[in-house]
Amino acid sequence: MAAHSSPLVDLPDEVLHSVAEAALDDALALQALARTCRRLQRFTEAYIYRSILLRSGSQASTLADALSAQSRRANCIYTPDSRITYREDLGMASLTPWIAQMTKLRTWVVESPWCNYERSDSDPQARWQREMKSFATMFRKTVELSSPRPLSMLQSCKSSFSNCCQVKS
């Protein structure tokens, strides 16, 4: 039985990049293209993994599993955005071994989970400071355990804690 080749797969790389870029705003279309064949998977994953929104530690764990399955995906990540939902941060540390392999990492945003919650803890700022120390530890371990110049493309790492948390009476 002869293997069938799609005319789409036979197109030059430049055209495949254009196809992937055209679908950039449609995550489902990019995922569908990725499932078509291995060649298209490589092209589309560069766009799928470029900007990541993490809303929970379990999503971070799922991302770590995806990176374990195909380590080249780590090199596609430019901007992870961590907006973890209140009390859903367990699993963020699973990304620690992957940060050094995120060679194109440009910006990482971390938002306080208390901005996503109706009532505050008795001291949300103290908890946020503990969480930021944990996040900083991820980066420190990356620098300590990695090649001479890890995170060389990183331009900014932003954390935000706003006064959006109000105690409801």
- What one-letter code names the amino acid at 88? E
Instruction: Quote the pTM value.
Output: 0.75
User: Are 142 and 96 part of one and the same domain?
Assistant: yes
What is the DSSP code (8-state) at residue 118? Answer: S
What is the DSSP code (8-state) at residue 11? Answer: S
Do the domain assignments include residue 165?
A: no
Do the domain assignments include residue 41?
A: yes
Predicted local confidence at residue 109, as pLDDT: 85
User: Are 142 and 123 part of one and the same domain?
Assistant: yes
C-alpha span between 62 and 98 (Å, rounded) = 13
**Mean pLDDT, all residues of the chain:** 79
Domain range for residue 142?
50-158
Do the domain assignments include residue 119?
A: yes
User: Are 41 and 55 part of one and the same domain?
Assistant: no
| DSSP SS3 for 18 | helix
User: Are 24 and 91 part of one and the same domain?
Assistant: no
Q: Structurally, how many domains does the chain consist of? A: 2
Q: Is the pLDDT of residue 85 over 80?
A: no
